[in-house]
Amino acid sequence: MTSDVVVTRDGNILRIAMNRPAKKNALTGAMYKAMQDALELADRDDDIRALLLTGSDGVFTAGNDIGDFLAGTRDAHGSPALRFITAIALCDTPIVAAVEGNAVGVGTTMLFHCDLVYAAPSAKFRMPFIDLGLVPEAAASLMVPLRVGMAKASEWLLLGEAFDAEEAYRVGVVNKVVPPGELIEVALDAAMRLAAKPKQALAATRRLMRGDRQAIRAQIAAESKEFAAALESPEAKAAFSAFLAKAKG
């Protein structure tokens, strides 16, 4: 258990808040596990009809806590991060996300598996995997080109360029840009509207819209294999060392 993820019930909505503001909500193995557990709970509990995913203190997430990630354990089912991204990609419960501030790495890639995404003007998205000597995860190498086209995907995944809320809205990554004081209200209202829909029709429509899950599973597996190999590369080790040295300042 961890207090860095706050999971609460709001009627038939399950709210998941990344809550580690001192570290800009950088994700630890324990946080990934808590979020995975919440996603799986939502799929098991018929009374939970939608999920609301947020950050806290004006930040969505800075992505992986690099120190924790490098020190973390991996088993036959992969890392906590891999188990979480698999869970969110295959989640049967509708997911609404509310994003403000930085959404880095997995903070961006997880959004491609959400049904509705709302952003404050402060939202800034970036997928700097290559800069760390790594490859994308969460099937981003498949999902991003499908969503925004190869040209824009190359800017974001190959060059590692950041993009703001307005660009995310323009290309269809987020549904709406809303004032920060209204962000949670707007996202919660959307979650409540989803929760009020006929459950079976909503579930069937989501399945039809999302298509073959095996393609997502296969891409996550392929990325995971490349990711594991990249972690052992000299360029990744050098990038991580430089990052940690800078963090220690």
Which domains does the chain carry?
5-182 (3.90.226.10)
Q: What is the pLDDT of residue 73?
A: 62
- Element (DSSP H or E) covering residue 22: none
So what's the pLDDT on residue 249?
Answer: 64
Which tokens sit at 245? 């040295």
Report residue 100 as tokens: 């403000």
Residue 69 has a pLDDT of: 75
Which residues of the chain have a pLDDT value below 70? 1, 72-77, 247-249
- In this prediction, residue 184 carries a pLDDT of 97
3-class DSSP state of 92 = coil
Q: Which amino acid is at 92?
A: D
Alpha-carbon dihedral of residues 101, 104, 106, 110, nearest 10 degrees? 40
pTM, full prediction: 0.94
Under 8 Å between Cβ of 38 and 17: no
What is the per-residue pLDDT for 50? 98
Burial of 160 (0-12, 13-18, 19+ CB in 10 A): middle
Look at residue 128 in the predicted model and tell me its pLDDT.
95
